[in-house]
Structure 1
Amino acid sequence: MKNMIRLLILLLPFFYTECYSQSTGNRTVSVTLPVVTLLDVEPTGNISMSFTAPADAGRPIISPTINTTKWINYTSAIVSGGVSRHVTASVNQTIPGVNIRLQAAAASGTGGGALGTPSAQVTLGTTPITIISGIGGAFTGNGANNGHRISIALVTSNYANLSAITAVPVTITYTISE
């Protein structure tokens, strides 16, 4: 009997035990966000714009229809406290007597963040001119119908400087920078 009581005393803690337990821990997670500045023009490929001769003597040449087929796409991640970015445009050469005018539209499509604000219509020259400003951490979405639609117009500026030309290649360069 004594052995039985001893056995019960030894086994009793296994039948009735209140256990309280709490465990906490922490880990450091290292996060890296790279500074990103990317820009492209979609869809790829060249555009062709041609003036049309008038049907009647004494009338001016007819400017080509405004081209609205190109879109500027960009991705921007700036440093903390960094300044905003802007997009400039310039041409490699001008055409005597012709102005190349460009207008960026407000951003549309699937992008988000601090998208830039377009400037008023500009006349392009060989010196870069801002066409979109105030870009922060943002992305425009990729491809046509995302980002800023570009309108390009050719307008005669000085008839005295006009000369007949054939297919003068003018390259428009877009640059995103701080």
Structure 2
Amino acid sequence: MKKIISLATVVICAFNIANAQDTNSDNHQITVVVPNIALLDIEPGTAATRNFTSTFSQPIPLEAGEKISDADDNDDLWINYSSILPTAVTSRRVDVKASALPEGVTIKVKASAAAAGGAGTKGSSAGEVTLSTTDQEVISGIGSAYTGTGVNNGHQLTYSFEALDTDYEDLRAKNTTVTVTYTLVDN
């Protein structure tokens, strides 16, 4: 009887050892996390190099009855962005608005087509936009993309300034500081 119990114990132990052995395959899971990214900046990168003054009186009219000359265009600034869309968002856009506008002056901005740097679905220019104190689309159709950083990457911004005849009576001799805000927005 001892031999039968010993033999049964050996068989049970051998069966358990056989079940505990590795097989010819195994698996595990990897969770890959791609973050939602929405970053935008204006280049050049410091306020000292991106703030500018636009003066209408250059040259000052020399003859009575002449209109002041429009201020020179400015195309020194670039918008750079990095965007990775979340699942529920189909695209992003860049909106622009001004904090205030000088009386009698029209300020327009146009974003160029995206420069060659970067990759992904970079946005398209919405054309020339007349600044107002409400958000307006200036770049549309941004997907998961990056533009590269710094000047000559992303979208070049061109500002133009006009004293239109229809608004000439509203002109006042003063300095007005206008803060222009760009925002990367989910569609």
Provide the TM-score with structure 2 as the length reference.
0.79
Q: What are the residue-to-residue correspondences of 1:87-98 with 2, within 5 Å?
A: 87-98=94-105
Match of 1:177 in 2: 185
Among 51, 61, 70, the alignment partner of 1:54 is 61
Name the residue aligned to 2:169. 160
2:106–2:161 contact (8 Å) kept in structure 1: yes
CA distance in 2, matches of 1:84, 1:164: 43
Counterpart of 2:168, as a letter, is Y
Match of 2:72 in 1: 65
Gaps of 5+ in 2: 1-22
Where structure 1 has 5 or more consecutive residues not aligned to the other structure, the ranges are 1-21
Q: Determine which structure has the larger helix proportion and give its number.
A: 2
Rounded Cα–Cα distance in structure 1 between residues aligned with 2:185 and 2:89 = 12
Structure 1 residue matching 2:80: 3-state secondary structure: strand
**In 2, are the aligned partners of 1:89 and 1:175 still within 8 Å (CA)?**
yes
Looking at structure 2, the residues matched to 113 and 90 of structure 1 have their Cα atoms a distance apart, in angstroms, of 26
Partner of 2:34: 33
In 2: Cα distance, 1:102 partner to 1:120 partner: 8
In the alignment, which of 106, 125, 134 is matched to residue 127 of structure 1?
Answer: 134
Runs of 4+ residues deviating >3 angstroms: 22-27
Is the CA contact 2:101–2:176 (under 8 Å) kept in the aligned structure 1? no
Contact 2:110 2:128 in 1 (8 A): yes
Pairwise CA RMSD:
1.5
In 2: Cα distance, 1:23 partner to 1:150 partner: 61
In 2: Cα distance, 1:125 partner to 1:81 partner: 30
Q: Distance in 2 between matches of 1:80 and 1:104?
A: 27
How far apart are the structure 2 equivalents of 1:27 and 1:55? Answer: 82
Q: For residues 133-161 of structure 1, what are the alpha-carbon distances to aligned partners after superposition, in whole Å with 9 as ceiling and x for unaligned?
A: 10000111111100000001111121111
- Matching residue's letter, 1:64: A
Deviation at 1:77, TM superposition (A): 0.4
Secondary structure in 1 matching 2:127: coil
- For residues 87 and 145 of structure 1, the distance between their equivalents in structure 2, rounded to whole angstroms, comes to 18
Distance 1:59 1:113 in 2: 50
| Identity in percent | 38
Using the TM superposition, give the Cα deviation of residue 24 of structure 1 relative to its aligned residue in structure 2, in angstroms: 4.5
Instruction: Deviation per CA, 1:17-72: give whole Å up to 9, x if none.
Output: xxxxx954444222100000000100132111111222222221111211000000
CA–CA distance in 1 between the matches of 2:24 and 2:183? 55
